[in-house]
Amino acid sequence: MTNLPAAFRAQLAGEACIGRLGVVGCRVSAAGDTTKYLLGLADGQSVETVLLRHDYGQTVCVSTQVGCRMGCRFCASGAEGWVRHLRSGEIYEQVLVAGRLSGVPVTHIVIMGMGEPLDNYHHTVAFIENISAPYGLHISQRRITLSTCGLVPRIRDLAQRGYGLTLAVSLHAPNNRLRNQLAPINRKHPLEELIPACADYAVRTGRRVSFEYVLLAGVNDTPALAAELAELLAGVHGHVNLIPANPVPECGFKAPTPAAVRNFRQVLERRGIPVSVRREMGADIGAACGQLRRRRPRGHKE
């Protein structure tokens, strides 16, 4: 575009790029409701994006980083380390590619793929603004959920922005001793910082916070811990979303028994905490929560 000043062209070449994410791999679950894409970035890296079909619409689960540096013990996304943040355009493209390939409009977005969105705060925020803007896909912020492992200062920053999105917080344990072991971020931002930040978020935005709790057999799935969780969350405008652990071979945790899930849920309900159990989708293709990674596992064929 020689009609633009040379200095501006040089600036554009240094800061911006035009391109699409290439589809490196694609797998469809046996149930047919989940599709996982491995998408290639311009620098040769790749990320996974998942498309979930529900009766109420179609959700895309986007990644925000190549790899992850939060180190949660039960999650595949950090198992191969962290490479880089995604740019907002690379997050946005995941939605476009998934929508285009499926041929069905995307109605909901969950920022729950690989990476920690609040560790890549500026690009994640730009993505939320662009995708919800009239000049973007115009997806209502009420149909966007952002999940974080608990970067407290960024939760407080986000609360100031007044978005209508749902904040989901990966809690996984009701006390610091256990949470320190499962999610190392807790050593930096312990529960006595995290829970008040979530409570403030709910008050400021009027939106109920969703507390995700991955149930790991024999580790955090006892009724006593459920009671402790109910106590921790008493008075917070939120609800608990239980996620029976999905298998990640190198992490070595096991899924809870159905009875353990039932009992855990019951204890919370009896103590007045709203609770739901997340429906598992795409575990057979490594597309379920905690299974996303930045390349195909060895020996894996599409």
Give the binding site for ligand SAH (CB under 6 A).
70, 72, 74-75, 112, 116, 147-149, 170, 212, 214, 243, 245-246, 248, 289-290
Quickly count: other Cβ atoms within 10 Å of residue 188's Cβ.
10
State how far the Cα of 56 lies from the Cα of 63, in Å rounded to an integer.
Answer: 22
The residue among 68 and 139 lying less far from ligand SAH, judged by its C-beta, is: 68
Shortest approach of ligand SAH to residue 287 CB, angstroms? 12
The residue among 72 and 165 lying less far from ligand SAH, judged by its C-beta, is: 72
State how far the Cα of 258 lies from the Cα of 244, in Å rounded to an integer.
Answer: 9
48 is catalytic: yes
Catalytic residue among 15, 48, 75, 250: 48
Residue nearest to ligand SAH (CB): 290
Token pair for 97: 């590619």
State how far the Cα of 33 lies from the Cα of 135, in Å rounded to an integer.
Answer: 29
The residue among 64 and 141 lying less far from ligand SAH, judged by its C-beta, is: 64
Shortest approach of ligand SAH to residue 141 CB, angstroms? 18
CA-CA distances (angstroms) from residue 37 to 52, 106, 115? 11, 15, 16
Shortest approach of ligand SAH to residue 56 CB, angstroms? 21
Q: What is residue 266's three-state secondary structure?
A: helix
The residue among 229 and 243 lying less far from ligand SAH, judged by its C-beta, is: 243
Shortest approach of ligand SAH to residue 236 CB, angstroms? 17
**What is the strand order of the sheet 166-170 is part of?**
22-28, 34-40, 46-54, 57-61, 108-111, 144-148, 166-170, 209-215, 238-244, 275-277
Q: How many residues does the chain have?
A: 302
Virtual CA dihedral for 260, 261, 267, 269, nearest 10 degrees?
Answer: -160
Shortest approach of ligand SAH to residue 12 CB, angstroms? 32
The residue among 198 and 214 lying less far from ligand SAH, judged by its C-beta, is: 214
Catalytic residue among 61, 68, 198, 289: 289
Q: Which of 67, 46, 49, 72 is nearest to 59 (CA)?
A: 49
Return the active site residues: 48, 289
